[in-house]
Structure 1
Amino acid sequence: MPSCCVNSLAGKVLLMDATPKEVNDYIKRHCREYYGISPGFIFKDIRVLLKEPMLVGLQVKRGKILLPFTKRCPNLGTILYEIAADEDDLNYIRSTLKSARDEEGLPGSTSTLHD
């Protein structure tokens, strides 16, 4: 059963108590690849808690994934984590999620995210 604690991924906090727009804008500025992620998505056996769909970013050359997460204990709002990723992790994101590079419908984007 998936866990709800992102602490087990040992990521670096990039943004704390951020809005979805702030997270999405940050990811768009710092990642060439990004994908739409919905609340409840499971990554590395962690259920990603979010208030609404957002973006997850890949920094391939650095081997990092930028992953938003809403912490409920204590209530810290949405946090953007930088998590070390190997090729399997990057491929999992690519194969499971739809690219949002030219899509809309997410806060901070200009078109509609389609399934």
Structure 2
Amino acid sequence: MGGCLEAMKPEVVLSQTSFREAREYIKKNVREYYEVEPGYKIFDVHIIGVAPLYVGVEGEHLIFPYTKPCHGTFVVKVPGGDEIARLRKRKGK
């Protein structure tokens, strides 16, 4: 995983999944989530995939799909910090 994301020791919630499965997982399992455009940046990581892409907020954590070249797409959970406020300022759910 990318430098900063790896340093945060992400919890892998769902591994080797598809963009669609990642989207459905977040939609069904995370109460607060936001649609973002492909390329949306969280910390130093650009989220890639097929729209719509969802980023979930659970307590103080962000849950989002992360695609690692040659390894596939994962749904990861990391401490959200200031990214949560930035995400909430965007248009809704």
Q: CA deviation at 1:12?
A: 0.6
More strand by share: 2
Which has the bigger relative contact order, CA under 8 A and spacing at least 6?
A: 2
1:1-115 alignment runs, 5 A limit: 5=2, 6-48=5-47, 50-53=48-51, 54-60=53-59, 63-72=60-69, 75-86=70-81, 88-96=82-90, 98-100=91-93
Larger Rg: 1
Runs of 4+ in 1 over 6 A off after TM superposition: none
Give 3-state SS (helix, strand or coil) of 2:50's partner: coil
Going from structure 1 to structure 2, the CA distance change for 1:9 and 1:84 (only over 3 Å counts) comes to same
Question: Structure 1: which 5+ residue stretches go unaligned?
Answer: 101-115
More helix by share: 2
Give 3-state SS (helix, strand or coil) of 1:39's partner: coil
Q: CA deviation at 1:18?
A: 0.8
Identity of aligned residues (%): 26
- Calculate the TM-score normalised by the size of structure 1: 0.67
In the alignment of these two chains, the number of paired residues is 90
Q: Is the 8 A contact 2:26 2:64 kept in 1?
A: no
Partners of 2:38 and 2:66 in 1: CA distance? 9
